[in-house]
A = this chain, B = another copy of it.
């Protein structure tokens, strides 16, 4: 194994709680009341899929236009937070270590530019790193498209990739892409949930993954 594909929100950036409140507020503005824990479980899907899943769950219908509006408001609320989200413990150091050690890695996220730009900057991820965002593929996680696109752009084989993610959707997508996956607890899911979704190993956060790279043969 020789390469990593990282999810961004909840995996490298501590943004899950802010995302939950931003979705909850934007949905409330559209007249949809939904509890935070139900939104939390859906973070890591694309915005479109998340809204579809939540509308189904709370038995309310959002038109295509309403969904688009909710998604835009979510982005606004998220970006305008007085306390922008920071890298998770050890994330900057892990990224730096992989660069120094010439281990290939990329980012595959269901988020989109320009929203993800400050997050990438805070991790010191520049144009030399492959970043696959939602808009660049037809289907977001849990479909494997983002991961396969990232792997191809990195020029490595699927069998060489470890997918690192905090959400069930990352791990299901990894399974469908025939890649091994590493679950991180720092997005809020429990270890049982991550193992059930196919995680090969589960660690706390980027810092514990960094300390445990030897377990992965790296």
Contacts and interface: CB of A to CB of B under 8 A. Distances in A.
Interface of A: 14, 16-18, 20-21, 24-25, 28, 33, 35-37, 40, 83, 86, 88-89, 185-190, 192-193, 205
Contacts of A186: 35, 37
A83 B193 CA distance: 30
Contacts of A86: 33
Contacts of A24: 17, 83
17 contacts: A14-B35, A14-B37, A17-B17, A17-B20, A17-B21, A21-B21, A21-B83, A28-B83, A33-B86, A35-B88, A35-B186, A37-B185, A37-B186, A37-B187, A40-B188, A192-B192, A192-B193
Contacts of A88: 35
Max chain B Cβ within 10 angstroms of own Cβ: one of A20, A25, A186 = A20
Contacts of A28: 83
A35 to B, nearest CB: 5
Contact of A35 (B18, B189, B192, B205): B205
Nearest to A90: B35
Contacts of A190: 189-190, 192-193
Nearest to A28: B83
Nearest to A166: B37
Nearest to A39: B17
Contact of A188 (B14, B18, B83, B188): B188
A205 to B, nearest CB: 7
Nearest to A16: B36
Given A35-B88, A35-B89, A189-B190, A40 B25 contact: no
Contacts of A21: 17-18, 21, 83
A35 B88 CA distance: 6
Contacts of A25: 83
Contacts of A35: 14, 88-89, 186, 205
Nearest to A184: B37
A113 B179 CA distance: 51
